[in-house]
Structure 1
Amino acid sequence: MTRPSSLRTHDLLGRAKPRFAKDGLTVHTDPNTLRRVTKALRGGGRRVTLVPTMGALHDGHRELMRRARSIPGSTTVVSIFVNPRQFGPTEDFGRYPRAFEADLDMCREEGVELVFAPEVDTMYPAGFTTGIDPGPLGDQLEGAARPGHFAGMLTVVNKLFAITVPDVAFFGEKDWQQLALIRRMVRDLDIDVHVVGVPTVRERDGLARSSRNAYLDELQRQQAVTISAALSAGQYAGEQGPEAVVAAAREVLAAEPALDVDYVELRDPDLGPTPTIGDARLLIAARLGTTRLIDNAHVSVTERV
């Protein structure tokens, strides 16, 4: 006997029927099934918004979800995938925080309706060789310290765009170089998605929210605030010129010997050369013990009087 269409678990081609529950959370692990869901949503007049994450969700991710959910007539997809291709051989892929059930609880609290949580061999099946070249910027700043990181990041983001085909995608500004490279990839490859950067969510003392903050012990947690304090010092020095911005930030960082500073750089917003006047971005990377922390802030550079 043929089952009524509303009860069939597979379509006439033998494919699993796409699952979606309005006002409820559905978790997908198969790219093709999710793609069919988002295609159907767009066909019905919905917009699709995407929040890519590596899980271990915190209030910074919560803000991304809220921005995504605020788009009228939209359905939000949150991807949860710890991407091995953006970790180096000596980095923390194996111990990166994973809290899947807690992540799903946060998604439910924020009204997210779709979660994409694939396995590694689903995203990178046997024989997978294709990747995205980030260009020269991929070897600078974080790229200099983490070879291959941005190629792996762009590759997975490109795959997420292809799977979900979002109208709008949301990324935090804490990873400013990541955001700049994603915007460049979208522009260079003519990808039809609007990329939105969301300001960094901070603790009350100024520390940028990050999944890696979980690695810090109590003392390191206090010491880490020095990074945001250095950014503030750099911002206040903007009216004295670009050299003063970097010098002010370095002076604050030098007062905390536990910080092993990798770089303090002032770049233009697209991470080109340091501007002599106008909008700029001050970027800092440092280690506390084995934990690498990054942060950045907007700086307005004005002429010396």
Structure 2
Amino acid sequence: MSPPVVVSTVSELRARLRPWRSGGGGIALVPTMGALHEGHLSLVRKAAEEAEKVVVSIFVNPTQFAPHEDLATYPRDLASDLRKLEGVPVDLVFAPDPAEMYPEGASTVVTVGGPANGLESDARPHFFAGVATVVAKLLIQCAPDVAVFGEKDFQQAAVVRRLVRDLCLPVRIETLATVREPSGLALSSRNAYLSAADRDTAATLHKAMTAAAGSISAGGNPEAALAVARRQMESVGFTIDYLELRDAETLGAYDPSLDRPARLLAAARLSGVRLIDNIPVIKASNRGGTMAAARYT
């Protein structure tokens, strides 16, 4: 495949998209912050299944970083990202700079409640206002028919769905299961910060979560299962921001008396690198005398 066309201004983006809208095949958007890996590329492939034209945005959004976080050192390599995109069906790359996305004097911020409350917002209270604002901008600028997000950022995807619903934006949100390394470690741009030894250790996050989810699915006490997982993670050097069982649809407190799906979500630091992950928890139930199996993605 040939290299995708790159534009860096909203006016260029809209000019390129205008003739595509009359084609009838639809436009899909994949928002990213660059440092692309196979997880991102899987989102692009999914987008190509959903629409005729695919736009990938590459923008490290400053408003979702606190002053003490890694904005200055966040991996950026547009040339490398474009080479990776040559192997997947992309029609256009939107790569603006901060001044294009946040012109001088910009003062409008989108805030979201509901699924944005707790978890990530406890550790990073600034985060979802930054995410909601930049995603709203991208959806307005591109006006896609569908936008594709990864389930690794499960709470973020829930926030985006609420944003789209509450603002009546005419876009469908699709999500794709987390892509993992063979060890189970979720693919992330921040994995590049990990040493080889830490990368092996980091797999304990997913292993501990999977064991806890299995215990809960089999009818075990959730708090006991989570306590075991926390000890396992801390024993290899993790500092835990959160490890919680939540209602998978609302991200509110999980009520085991209700027949609703649950999600186990975690954020933890290893050698200063913050990793997040989540997996579904499927309660085993007696159906026709057989136990339903739990499946983790």
TM-score w.r.t. length of structure 2: 0.90
Q: Give CA deviations for 1:257-276 in whole Å, capped at 9, x if unaligned.
A: x1111111000112011130
The 2-side partners of 1:251 and 1:31 are apart by 49
The 1-side partners of 2:223 and 2:96 are apart by 46
User: What letter corresponds to residue 32 of structure 1 in structure 2?
Assistant: S
Tell me how far 1:139 sits from its aligned partner. 4.3
Tell me how far 1:243 sits from its aligned partner. 3.2
- Sequence identity percentage: 46
Q: Kindly indicate whether residue 294 of structure 2 is the aligned counterpart of residue 294 of structure 1.
A: no
Query: Which residue of the other structure, out of 247, 263, 269, is the alignment partner of 2:227?
Result: 247
The 1-side partners of 2:243 and 2:285 are apart by 21
Do the aligned partners of 1:137 and 1:143 also contact (CA within 8 Å) in 2?
Answer: no
The 2-side partners of 1:253 and 1:63 are apart by 29
User: What letter corresponds to residue 28 of structure 1 in structure 2?
Assistant: V
Tell me how far 1:188 sits from its aligned partner. 0.9
Do the aligned partners of 2:3 and 2:82 also contact (CA within 8 Å) in 1?
Answer: no
The 2-side partners of 1:120 and 1:133 are apart by 20
Structure 2 unaligned segments of length 5 or more: list them: 292-297
Query: Which residue of the other structure, out of 10, 14, 18, is the alignment partner of 1:35?
Result: 14
The 2-side partners of 1:91 and 1:291 are apart by 11
Task: Say how many residue pairs are matched.
Answer: 282
The 2-side partners of 1:221 and 1:208 are apart by 11
Higher mean C-alpha displacement, 37-46 vs 108-117: 37-46
Counterpart mapping for 1:96-245 below 5 A: 96-135=74-113, 137-237=115-215, 238-241=217-220, 242-245=222-225
Q: Which has the larger radius of gyration?
A: 1
What secondary structure is seen at the aligned counterpart in 2 of 1:301? coil
Structure 1 unaligned segments of length 5 or more: list them: 1-21
Higher mean C-alpha displacement, 228-237 vs 50-59: 228-237
The 1-side partners of 2:156 and 2:165 are apart by 14
What secondary structure is seen at the aligned counterpart in 1 of 2:50? coil
Tell me how far 1:291 sits from its aligned partner. 0.8
Q: Give CA deviations for 1:56-91 in whole Å, capped at 9, x if unaligned.
A: 00000010011011225x100000000000000100
Tell me how far 1:23 sits from its aligned partner. 6.6
The 1-side partners of 2:277 and 2:254 are apart by 17
Q: Give CA deviations for 1:187-211 in whole Å, capped at 9, x if unaligned.
A: 1111111101110000001000000
The 1-side partners of 2:110 and 2:265 are apart by 24
Q: Give CA deviations for 1:62-121 in whole Å, capped at 9, x if unaligned.
A: 10011011225x100000000000000100000000111110111121021100000100
TM-score w.r.t. length of structure 1: 0.88
User: What letter corresponds to residue 25 of structure 2 in structure 1?
Assistant: R
The 2-side partners of 1:189 and 1:71 are apart by 23
What secondary structure is seen at the aligned counterpart in 1 of 2:86? helix
The 2-side partners of 1:145 and 1:136 are apart by 16
Do the aligned partners of 2:30 and 2:43 also contact (CA within 8 Å) in 1?
Answer: yes
RMSD: 1.9
Query: Which residue of the other structure, out of 49, 57, 66, is the alignment partner of 2:28?
Result: 49
Tell me how far 1:136 sits from its aligned partner. 5.1
